[in-house]
């Protein structure tokens, strides 16, 4: 089907929905690299005008990647909830934007509609929205998950404590963990990106994390971010695994480049559930995503990178994760060139995921060869806090010494919580007070050398 609109004396034609979505996307280097971006501001605006008139129903009948070729497309279509879609089924994409911004469209309404919204619908409407629209609509989307604590409550912000070390040195990792805990971080997850994939090293990490949790009765969950097959094997070997991690993408071909498919994720999900380690809930998966991964893997099928990213959230949603996050600036300037593009992408990703019912955090980050700096990250961090982000990263000094990129620090989390009045997960907050790390108000207390945590380390 051809889509077209006339602007002044010019008529712009777009041969299919895939092209229309790509041309309507805000400018970013990845789409330009793929040859998908609009050739001019005028063409981009013409595409937005045409996209606004597309009925939402159209996305159920024109697959961007053929149903027969892609299992993510099949998942999206086969799991679509027609009854949840019914209240908005008469809307166009432009009408959908207006509906999202109505005061009467509240958290309960959005939650009820989530399973009826496809990733392509979410991506499409985001392309018509200003940054403030993305913030306002995402703020109304609430997704609460539980394992050993409660994440995603209104007025709360959690932090992933990320104590990476370039040689997986246990003492170095422990020092970063102590630093983070004393700054009140770690309620989302204590998650280690290992430098090694050695089963012996990985087992040491899992056991250290679990021993620390048990010794101090910390209401937290841990994760070692290795490949899902290694985690399944470790579960079979008796490893004390809380959350199973995997990077995911929005197309079958890209997921295959990661060495995964939906069947393998189902196996991992079942394995994690079989352990029964959660005390408050059974959300046992942790996923990471990022715009540009499909193009990088040659698996984008001519679909723009933001729409590919939104499709990844359908994969995440299928497994009811405790946490999902977009590592927004990590893949580099070939895909998100500068601070402006990174900020826009972070807001899009958060909005689309929350709209689909996915618990969404963001690694507010950039690589050293991008045209971005820490001021850009401060801006994105603050905007995401206003938008109700579920969690962010906590890294000593904001500088990951193993992955070599710039992210957010424990101090950044303190800034955001203080500025916006955000709280930690309630169970974790109670533990911090019990351990005399925080005052009753939630503010940090001065820590002396005799503190139990310092003696333990």
Q: What are 187-224's pLDDT values in tens digits? A: 999 999 999 999 999 999 999 999 999 999 999 999 99
pLDDT bracket for residue 455 (50, 70, 90): confident
Residue found by looking up tokens 């303190």 in the block:
414
Q: Which of 103, 126, 100, 124 is nearest to 113 (CA)?
A: 100
Distance of CA 326 to the CA centre of its chain: 4
> Under a CB-based contact definition with an 8 Å cutoff, are residues 292 and 335 in contact?
yes
> Under a CB-based contact definition with an 8 Å cutoff, are residues 306 and 348 in contact?
yes
pTM beyond 0.95: the answer is yes
pLDDT for res 447: 83
> What value does the mean pLDDT take over residues 338-352?
98
Distance of CA 289 to the CA centre of its chain: 6
pLDDT for res 440: 84
pLDDT one-digit tens code per residue, 405-449: 999 999 999 999 999 999 999 999 999 999 999 998 889 998 877
Length of the chain equals: 457
Instruction: Kindly provide the b/e burial profile for residues 416-427, where b requires at least 16 CB atoms within 10 angstroms of the residue's own CB.
Output: bbeeeebbbbeb
pLDDT one-digit tens code per residue, 102-143: 999 999 999 999 999 999 999 999 999 999 999 999 999 999
pLDDT for res 1: 86
User: What SS3 class is residue 117?
Assistant: coil
What is d(CA 227, CA 455) in angstroms, rounded to the nearest whole number? Answer: 34
pLDDT bracket for residue 320 (50, 70, 90): very high
Q: Which of 51, 40, 54, 50 is nearest to 6 (CA)?
A: 50
What is d(CA 311, CA 62) in angstroms, rounded to the nearest whole number? Answer: 15
pLDDT greater than 90 at residue 327: yes
Q: Which of 288, 353, 357 is nearest to 320 (CA)?
A: 357
Q: How many CB atoms lie within 10 A of CB 150?
A: 19
> What value does the mean pLDDT take over residues 7-18?
94
pLDDT bracket for residue 315 (50, 70, 90): very high
pLDDT for res 452: 80
> What value does the mean pLDDT take over residues 356-363?
98
Element (H, E) at 288: strand 285-289
pLDDT bracket for residue 454 (50, 70, 90): confident
- Collect all residues with Cβ–Cβ distance below 8 Å to 309 and sequence separation of at least 6: 123, 250, 289, 290, 291, 293, 294, 326, 348, 349, 352
> What value does the mean pLDDT take over residues 53-60?
98
* DSSP 8-state assignment for residue 27: P
pLDDT for res 433: 95
What is d(CA 75, CA 293) in angstroms, rounded to the nearest whole number? Answer: 19
pLDDT for res 42: 95
* DSSP 8-state assignment for residue 69: T
Q: Which of 305, 310, 312 is nearest to 255 (CA)?
A: 312
> What value does the mean pLDDT take over residues 278-307?
97
pLDDT for res 8: 84
Average pLDDT, the chain: 96
What is d(CA 207, CA 191) in angstroms, rounded to the nearest whole number? Answer: 13
Longest dimension (CA), the chain: 77
């Amino acid at each position: 089907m051809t889509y077209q609109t006339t602007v002044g004396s010019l008529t712009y034609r777009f041969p299919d929905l895939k092209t229309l979505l790509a041309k309507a996307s805000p400018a970013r280097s990845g789409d330009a690299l793929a040859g998908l971006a609009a050739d001019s501001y005028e063409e981009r605006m013409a595409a937005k005008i045409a996209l606004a008139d597309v009925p939402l129903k159209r996305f159920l009948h024109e697959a961007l990647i053929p149903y027969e070729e892609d299992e993510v497309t099949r998942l999206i279509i086969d799991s679509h909830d027609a009854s949840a879609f019914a209240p908005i089924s008469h809307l166009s994409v432009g009408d959908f934007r207006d509906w999202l911004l109505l005061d009467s469209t509240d958290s309960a309404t959005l939650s009820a509609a989530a399973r009826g919204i496809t990733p392509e619908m979410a991506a499409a409407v985001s392309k018509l929205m200003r940054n403030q629209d993305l913030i306002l609509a995402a703020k109304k989307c609430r997704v609460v998950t539980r394992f050993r604590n409660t994440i995603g409550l209104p007025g709360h912000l959690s932090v992933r404590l990320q104590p990476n070390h370039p040689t997986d040195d246990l003492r170095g990792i422990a020092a970063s963990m102590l630093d983070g805990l004393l700054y009140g971080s770690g309620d989302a997850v204590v998650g280690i990106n290992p430098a090694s994939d050695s089963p012996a090293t990985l087992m040491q990490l899992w056991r250290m994390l679990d021993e620390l949790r048990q010794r101090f009765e910390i209401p937290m969950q841990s994760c070692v971010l290795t490949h899902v097959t290694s985690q399944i094997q470790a579960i079979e070997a008796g490893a004390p695994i809380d959350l199973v991690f995997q990077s995911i993408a929005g197309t079958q071909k890209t997921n295959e480049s990661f060495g995964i498919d939906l069947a393998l994720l189902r196996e991992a999900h079942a394995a994690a559930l079989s352990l029964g380690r959660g005390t408050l809930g059974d959300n046992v998966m942790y996923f990471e995503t990022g715009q540009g991964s499909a193009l990088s893997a040659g698996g984008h099928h001519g679909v723009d990178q933001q729409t590919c990213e939104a499709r990844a959230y359908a994969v995440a949603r299928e497994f009811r994760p405790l946490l999902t996050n977009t590592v927004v600036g990590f893949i580099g300037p070939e895909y998100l060139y500068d601070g402006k593009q990174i900020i826009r992408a972070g807001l899009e990703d958060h909005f689309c995921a929350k709209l689909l019912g996915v618990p969404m955090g963001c690694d507010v980050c950039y690589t050293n060869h991008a045209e971005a700096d820490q001021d850009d990250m401060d801006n994105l961090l603050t905007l995401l806090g206003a938008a109700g982000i579920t969690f962010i990263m906590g890294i000593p000094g904001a500088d990951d010494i193993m992955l070599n990129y710039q992210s957010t620090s424990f101090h950044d989390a303190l800034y955001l919580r203080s500025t916006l009045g955000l709280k930690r997960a309630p169970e974790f907050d109670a533990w911090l007070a019990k351990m005399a790390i925080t005052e009753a108000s939630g503010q940090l207390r001065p820590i002396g050398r005799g503190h139990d945590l310092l003696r333990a380390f």
